[in-house]
Structure 1
Amino acid sequence: MFDALQHLSFWNWLAFGTLLLILEVFGAGGYLLWIGLAAAAVGLLTYLIPDLHWTLQFVLFGVLAILTAVYWWRRQRTAAKPSDQPGLNQRGSELLGRTFTLHEAISGGRGKIKAGDSLWLVSGPELPAGSQVRVIGQDGVLLKVDAVP
């Protein structure tokens, strides 16, 4: 085994890097990509410096793998910034604070309002049809309303 380690060539590192990149295709979330690139970088260094000792190759691989993983982690954290359009793809959030007329009376805590060309299920206090209500919240497709004085 030690004989095989002492004769590592750049082909071994490139094959290992390629294997990691192939495994990344099956959904590792980016982590094997950077470790595979670290293995390819060690393969390139081994090609440029053929007499590089095997222990130094493994140390370089470990350091490069850690550095690329930290780079990936930091990149992922900075890429997740809040949207400048927080209500995007949240149908109904544009109705918050608006006033509507009840289309169907609220009985048993449920009723309906008409907003534009859509009927929305609402929850709130018992009110007859035709009452004015203000949308105060949203729970999925259910709008929470309160009576307008």
Structure 2
Amino acid sequence: MRWEVVAWGALALVLFAAEALAPGAFMLWIGIGAAAVFVLVAVFADIPLLWQVVAFVLLSVVSIQCYRQWGRTRARETDAPLLNRRAEQLIGRVVALDQPIVAGVGRAKVDDAFWMVAGPDLPAGTPVRVVAVDGMTLKVQQV
């Protein structure tokens, strides 16, 4: 077996193993480029090393771009779309103001956390409904 065939096969296996150890769907596509060059070099014996490297780079870039196009057009469905978006989970909840809203800014206690709130001026203790989120500030309206 020729050394370049073994080298491209070994590189493909190393890249696949790296993807298996640290998944992120990136080394896989470079490994596919190396595997494709492995097949080319195994079939066509007289490809110069420079052209092998050029083919590897081009095939890797093409495979990464194909994955990016395919991955971006496929939206992932989830049963918990607001997971890790805690503020947005609070929309619709009714809470009492901990501090009055003065000049459009106040504070409310939601469960065990205090949140900055924005809305019309209201006294402390007034029940308000969370209607929107702006960063870490809850937009509220009087109930």
TM class, shorter-length: 0.5 to 0.7
Of 111, 114, 124, 2:109 maps to: 114
Q: What does residue 38 of structure 2 align with?
A: 40
Q: Secondary structure at the match of 1:92?
A: helix
Deviations 1:15-72 (A, max 9, x none): 24545776895x99333221111122234446xxxxx5549xx79x95xx38x82764
TM-score, normalised via structure 1 length: 0.64
Structure 2 SS opposite 1:76: helix
Residues 71 and 28 from structure 1, CA distance in 2 versus in 1: closer, same or farther, beyond 3 angstroms? closer
Q: Does the C-alpha gap of structure 1 residues 146 and 134 become closer, same or farther in structure 2, counting only changes over 3 Å?
A: same
Distance in 2 (CA, whole Å) between partners of 1:107 and 1:10 is 79
Structure 2: stretches of 5+ with no match in the other structure: 19-23
> What is the TM-score with the length of structure 2 in the denominator?
0.66
Structure-2 change in CA distance of 1:10 and 1:83 (3 Å): farther
| Cα deviation, residue 123, structure 1 | 1.0
Determine if the alignment matches structure 1 residue 13 to structure 2 residue 44. Answer: no
Question: How do residues 1-149 of structure 1 correspond to structure 2 at under 5 angstroms?
Answer: 10-16=2-8, 18-19=10-11, 29-30=26-27, 31-45=29-43, 54=47, 65=59, 69=63, 72-73=67-68, 76-77=71-72, 80-148=75-143
Matched AA of 1:115: V
Higher CA-based Rg: 1
RMSD: 3.8
Amino acid paired to 1:12: E
Q: Which runs of 5+ in 1 are unaligned?
A: 1-8, 47-51
Q: Offset of 1:93 from its aligned partner? A: 2.0
Which segment drifts farther, 121-130 or 78-87?
A: 78-87
- Identity fraction in percent: 34
Give a deviation string over 1:77-102, Cα, whole Å, max 9, x none. Answer: 46652433110111122211111111
* Secondary structure in 1 matching 2:86: coil
Q: Is the 8 A contact 2:101 2:122 kept in 1?
A: yes
| 2-structure distance, mates of 1:20, 1:72 | 17
